[in-house]
Amino acid sequence: MFSDTFSPRFTDTDALGHINNTLVPVWFEGARDNIFKMFTPDLDVNNWQLILAKIDVTFHAQMHYGTEMEVKTYISRIGNSSFDVHQELWQKNQKCASGTAVMVHFCFKQQKAQVISEEIINKMKSHMLIESKL
């Protein structure tokens, strides 16, 4: 599991007084830096290896400005060329949102999916979501 902590910003709130829902996909993408580095260790944008196929986010509780947040990032499925990233947003010991991103190892030059190497699969395995936690 990867853990990222940060403080939400005033601009992230909306007129209902809480954090707006559209920030969660932004924060989840930010926390996937840990996954991007498995494929592009120096995060060089000219050597990008991944595309995003699908996301879902479930909202469990209201999120608030003024309190630190944590995004927990797990690998939840490893396929041939695609894999799932399970992420949870926690604030004050409460799971506020959770979701899955389906990512594909992709060659931009050839414009097609690529098999994930053994080396990367081994990195992923140390960050697997243990099923009983779901």
Contacts with a second copy by CB under 8 A lie at 6-7, 9-11, 13-18, 20-22, 25-26, 29-30, 33, 36, 42-46, 48, 51-59, 65-66, 108
Q: Which is nearer to a second copy, 35 or 129 (CB)?
A: 35
Q: Which is nearer to a second copy, 21 or 122 (CB)?
A: 21
Residue of 7, 4, 5 whose CA lies nearest to 65: 7
Q: Which is nearer to a second copy, 30 or 122 (CB)?
A: 30
DSSP 27: H
Token duo for residue 8 = 């939400």
User: d(Cα 20, Cα 97) in Å, to the nearest integer?
Assistant: 12
